[in-house]
């Protein structure tokens, strides 16, 4: 399993997750957006809460490994 993002770090959807969604016929409107990783949901192991920083909206229950931390040059 990949490392989980650190709490309160800036993240985006990882490229493998976006490819999986597109290959499955799903479209994801926020593929390039940045989020703040709020943390894993304690009683839903492997799922997390993130906040979309462009619209200040919480997004709940995506898989934790669907996100990766941004590199400094991406911020």
26 within domain boundaries: yes
Q: Is residue 1 part of a domain?
A: no
pTM summary value: 0.82
Mean pLDDT, residues 67-73 = 94
Q: Is 3 inside a domain boundary?
A: no
The two tokens of residue 13 are: 């959807």
Report residue 21's pLDDT band, with 50, 70 and 90 as the boundaries: confident
Q: Is residue 2 part of a domain?
A: no
Q: Given this model, what pLDDT does residue 31 score?
A: 67
Residue 22, in any domain of the structure: yes
pLDDT value of residue 22: 73
As given in the structure block, the two tokens for residue 14 are 């990882």
* 17 lies in some domain: yes
Residue 51 resides in a domain:
yes
25 phi and psi angles, rounded to 5 deg: 90, 5
Q: How many folded domains does the chain comprise?
A: 1
Q: What is the mean pLDDT of the chain?
A: 87
Residue 2: other Cβ atoms inside 10 A: 10
Collapsing DSSP states into helix, strand and coil, what is residue 11?
A: strand
Average pLDDT over residues 49-63: 91
The answer to the question of residue 4 being in a domain is no
Domain span holding position 63: 10-74
Q: pLDDT band at 32, cuts 50/70/90?
A: confident
């Amino acid at each position: 399993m990949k490392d989980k993002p650190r709490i309160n770090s800036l993240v985006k959807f990882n490229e493998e997750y976006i490819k999986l969604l597109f290959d499955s016929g799903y479209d994801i409107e926020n593929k390039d957006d940045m989020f703040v990783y709020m943390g894993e949901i304690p009683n839903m192991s492997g799922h997390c809460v993130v906040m979309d920083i462009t619209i200040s909206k919480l997004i709940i229950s995506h898989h934790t490994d669907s996100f990766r931390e941004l590199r400094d040059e991406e911020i």
